[in-house]
Structure 1
Amino acid sequence: MTDFTLLGDDGATRRVALVDTSGYTRPAGPLRSRVAYAAAHVVPHAHADNTPGQPADIDWDATLDFRRNVYSWGLGVADAMDTAQRNMGLDAAATRELISRSADVAREEGGAVVVGVNTDHVEEEHIALDRVIDAYTEQLHFTEEQGAGPVLMASRHLARAAESAEDYRRVYRAVLAQATTPVVLHWLGTAFDPQLRGYFGADDWQSAAEVLLDVIGEHADKVAGVKMSLLDAASEVSVRERLPEGVRMFTGDDFNYVGLIGGADVPAAPQPERDASSPRQHSDALLGAFAALTPVASAAIQALDAGDPERYLDVLGPTEALSRQVFAAPTFYYKTGVAFLAWLNGHQKAFQMVGGLHSARSLPHLSRIVELANDAKAFERPEIAAERWTALLRLNGVDA
């Protein structure tokens, strides 16, 4: 197949040429210039009751093979986070099993894995701050026992219970004091989860950042980094420049990652104003987008390793339009795009998701993902991707 059909919002179709994506090669050794994690999704059994409200029935072979593929490209895996449909179909029992299995695979493959730590196994919506601390601590200790790195995720329970910035300081101080291994703190914006409005005690990011930085400053020996997912590059750079020595900034900005990761090494990349005197001139990565385009992300970082910023920009630059489409509002449905691309790339047998989330995006939206993935050379096996997309269109009555 050398071309395929695209579907517009008005139902009109057009043919486009299929782009050759050969040329990406797996790294011969570890990636050096950036630390990068792909936030991975989960694959359900196609025959399972993948409908809203049903427990997750995971195809563990496909789910774990996807993580092995990520490791083969030199990236780490961020697991049991929002990309894995946590709080959107992945229940507490499946979350614990995912963490345990993923940690085992990381050991087998010699890969780096971090996993989400939250309070979401508690079924009550409203709990007191002391119970929030206990719930965080329970998941933290479980994660440490599995040998995975903890990512202390933003808690809906804490967002509901906190009455001031000091309540956030209290909870994070208590949890970090009990950590036996350095953790990554996760600041998830309302585009990803509207229930987290006012997190860290303020609606404006400047005030909230002061609380976050206070927490990190008090426990710098317990904090490996912070993942910011506000979709605001200026806020990330501002916080990044104020982090204590040894604390990394992991960008979670799926709209602006090219410039944030490239930093001063890629002056031609679009990025917000930064302080040239700051010792931190780039962000590392912890991105759902990198699960959707793992070979491309690896090739871009390999280019930085080789001191070739032009190649980095040429490879990764076109993917930002694709990522913006995948993460388009309502942003929390981006998981559909990640799973869709995994299916097109042959990493799962069916375009199915737990909780019925495969139905969360329209055909024209998916068509635009296909178009941009083709432009960005993000199809690992282009002919298979085109065949599967054509079959989906025909199944839905579109003459492809």
Structure 2
Amino acid sequence: MIELPDAEGNLIAFEPKKTPSPFAPGGPALRSRTMFSAAHVVADPTAPNAQYGPATLDWDATMAFRRHLWSHGLAVTEAQDTSQRGMGLDWPLAAELIRRSGAEAKAVGGRLSAAIWTDQLDPTATHSVADVLAAYEQQMEVAEAAGAEIVILASRQLAAAAAGPDDYAEVYRQLIKQASKPVVLHWVRELMDPGLAGYWGSADPDQALENFLAVVAENSDKIDGVKVLPQALDREIDMRRRLPEGVKCYTGDDMSYPTLIAGDGQHHSHALLGILDPLAPLAAAAVRKLDEGDTAGFTELLGPTVQMSFHLFEGTGMDIRFYKTGFTFLAWLSGHQDHFKMIWSEQNDRSPAHLAKAYQLADAFDLFPDPDLAEQRMRQYLADAGVTA
């Protein structure tokens, strides 16, 4: 029994499970759905990694976590916001992360995609559309040299430079043409990033989507899939019905993912998700249910995990970014890393009550390979935080 703090400041007795997670590595390859997990990075515990300061990674632990994801049959998508891209992970460090992950992927036969962006450009300067294209191309060269598939992130610099839909279409047309493999187009709406207002040449979301889908249709033979976030559930369902044959819809909806991945009998979404970072073993087991035609079994297994996602992503505005604190904490409890420290010191950005609830939920979903270790580390964390009976 362990006493855990709740949101009201009380200590509540909790009896964790003693049985190790049944979701072991290995098993048949996932067939019916492509599941890309965005992966967190592990900070070097000997480096300052102070807020807004330079970041230093624990490369061994960071690569070990990617091997963990691959061992369960998931693909890895690298250098996205889950790895603190743009929030401590700058382009030089992202480039090194992509190179190292590429080498690991080759060694274990794992599937890897990598995000290209324009974050090497000075955010305070004015840039032309040609500057933006050149920045994307520089990052594409690094990612392709590492053997990664390309995910094209939406660029704030392109949003500032583009005069209209034709500028977006031309930049994406050039990038898609140059890529050696089909790409994923990843567009985060301005609800999550105000710097993307007017992306695809219109402030009207319906017209912007039409402009976007026109580019997808024109280049469909070189597009593996698209991810547009955030979307209302019905809007993602409508969008995926309109995609050209062979172009996947990758859901980025960390709240409705079980419904979207299960599908409606005619269409379904694949996944490019942050929540797969802590849920990888369970999610892989759930997709294998789908592979066997057992949609009910898939929903029974994965559906309840939405409550964990709601909890880890709780907050408003920029506070939502602290979901990575919960991911890193659960990875430490699970034995995937030896310390709970993050770049920009984000280990301090969730309360003991929040992390205690994350521990309870992970225990409920049988995510701990060694429950005794998880309990020991939970006790250690609470003691260090000054939370005692």
In the superposition, the TM-score normalised over structure 2's length comes to 0.93
Counterpart mapping for 1:101-120 below 5 A: 101-120=100-119
Q: In structure 2, how many angstroms separate the alpha carbons of the residues matched to 1:362 and 1:195? A: 29
- Name the aligned partner's letter for residue 323 of structure 2: Y
Moved more, 154-163 or 345-354: 154-163
The aligned counterpart of 1:174 is 174
Instruction: Tell me the CA shift for residue 237 of structure 1.
Output: 1.1
The aligned counterpart of 1:186 is 186
Instruction: Tell me the CA shift for residue 34 of structure 1.
Output: 0.8
Contact 2:188 2:228 in 1 (8 A): yes
Q: 1:94-123, CA deviations, whole angstroms, 9 ceiling, x for partnerless residues?
A: 111111110111111111000001111123
Which portions of structure 1, spanning 4 or more consecutive aligned residues, are displaced by more than 6 angstroms? none
The aligned counterpart of 1:206 is 206
Q: In structure 2, how many angstroms separate the alpha carbons of the residues matched to 1:285 and 1:5? A: 36
Q: 1:353-378, CA deviations, whole angstroms, 9 ceiling, x for partnerless residues?
A: 11222222222222222222222333
Instruction: Tell me the CA shift for residue 146 of structure 1.
Output: 1.7
The aligned counterpart of 1:365 is 354
Q: In structure 2, how many angstroms separate the alpha carbons of the residues matched to 1:98 and 1:223? A: 24
- Name the aligned partner's letter for residue 215 of structure 2: V
Contact 2:21 2:367 in 1 (8 A): no
Contact 1:322 1:376 in 2 (8 A): no
Q: In structure 2, how many angstroms separate the alpha carbons of the residues matched to 1:104 and 1:120? A: 23
Instruction: Tell me the CA shift for residue 15 of structure 1.
Output: 1.3
Counterpart mapping for 1:276-291 below 5 A: 276=266, 281-291=267-277
Instruction: Tell me the CA shift for residue 190 of structure 1.
Output: 4.1
Contact 1:231 1:256 in 2 (8 A): no
Contact 2:22 2:366 in 1 (8 A): no
Q: 1:217-267, CA deviations, whole angstroms, 9 ceiling, x for partnerless residues?
A: 1111221111232152222111111111111111111111000001136xx
The aligned counterpart of 2:249 is 249
Q: Residue 377 in 1 paired to residue 377 in 2? A: no
Q: Secondary structure at the match of 2:264?
A: helix
The aligned counterpart of 1:12 is 10
Moved more, 211-220 or 301-310: 301-310
Q: In structure 1, how many angstroms separate the alpha carbons of the residues matched to 2:191 and 2:328? A: 19
Q: In structure 1, how many angstroms separate the alpha carbons of the residues matched to 2:258 and 2:311? A: 15
Instruction: Tell me the CA shift for residue 163 of structure 1.
Output: 4.1
- Name the aligned partner's letter for residue 3 of structure 2: T
C-alpha change, 1:43 and 1:187, in structure 2 (3 Å) is same
> % of aligned pairs identical?
41
C-alpha change, 1:22 and 1:377, in structure 2 (3 Å) is closer
Instruction: Tell me the CA shift for residue 14 of structure 1.
Output: 0.4
Q: How many aligned residue pairs are there?
A: 384
Contact 1:27 1:302 in 2 (8 A): no
Q: In structure 2, how many angstroms separate the alpha carbons of the residues matched to 1:258 and 1:5? A: 32
Contact 1:191 1:332 in 2 (8 A): no
Q: Residue 26 in 1 paired to residue 25 in 2? A: yes
Contact 1:143 1:149 in 2 (8 A): yes
C-alpha change, 1:198 and 1:356, in structure 2 (3 Å) is farther
Q: In structure 1, how many angstroms separate the alpha carbons of the residues matched to 2:8 and 2:204? A: 39
- Name the aligned partner's letter for residue 46 of structure 1: P
Q: In structure 2, how many angstroms separate the alpha carbons of the residues matched to 1:87 and 1:251? A: 22
Contact 2:227 2:252 in 1 (8 A): yes
Contact 1:6 1:371 in 2 (8 A): no
Return the match for 1:294 from 258, 280, 283. Answer: 280
CA RMSD after TM alignment: 1.8
- Name the aligned partner's letter for residue 85 of structure 1: Q
Instruction: Tell me the CA shift for residue 25 of structure 1.
Output: 3.2
- Name the aligned partner's letter for residue 257 of structure 1: Y
Contact 1:64 1:105 in 2 (8 A): yes
Return the match for 1:303 from 274, 289, 293. Answer: 289
Moved more, 240-249 or 151-160: 151-160
C-alpha change, 1:149 and 1:14, in structure 2 (3 Å) is same
The aligned counterpart of 2:325 is 336
Q: Residue 65 in 1 paired to residue 56 in 2? A: no
Counterpart mapping for 1:251-270 below 5 A: 251-264=251-264
Q: In structure 2, how many angstroms separate the alpha carbons of the residues matched to 1:202 and 1:321? A: 35
Give 5+ residue unaligned stretches, structure 2. none
Q: Residue 352 in 1 paired to residue 338 in 2? A: no
C-alpha change, 1:390 and 1:108, in structure 2 (3 Å) is same
Instruction: Tell me the CA shift for residue 165 of structure 1.
Output: 3.3
Q: In structure 2, how many angstroms separate the alpha carbons of the residues matched to 1:16 and 1:399? A: 14
- Name the aligned partner's letter for residue 227 of structure 1: K
Contact 1:78 1:286 in 2 (8 A): yes
Counterpart mapping for 1:303-322 below 5 A: 303-322=289-308
Q: Secondary structure at the match of 1:304?
A: helix
- Name the aligned partner's letter for residue 396 of structure 1: A
Q: Secondary structure at the match of 1:38?
A: strand
- Name the aligned partner's letter for residue 61 of structure 1: D
Contact 2:335 2:373 in 1 (8 A): yes
Give 5+ residue unaligned stretches, structure 1. 266-275
Q: In structure 1, how many angstroms separate the alpha carbons of the residues matched to 2:223 and 2:314? A: 31
Q: Residue 143 in 1 paired to residue 143 in 2? A: yes
Q: In structure 2, how many angstroms separate the alpha carbons of the residues matched to 1:21 and 1:213? A: 46
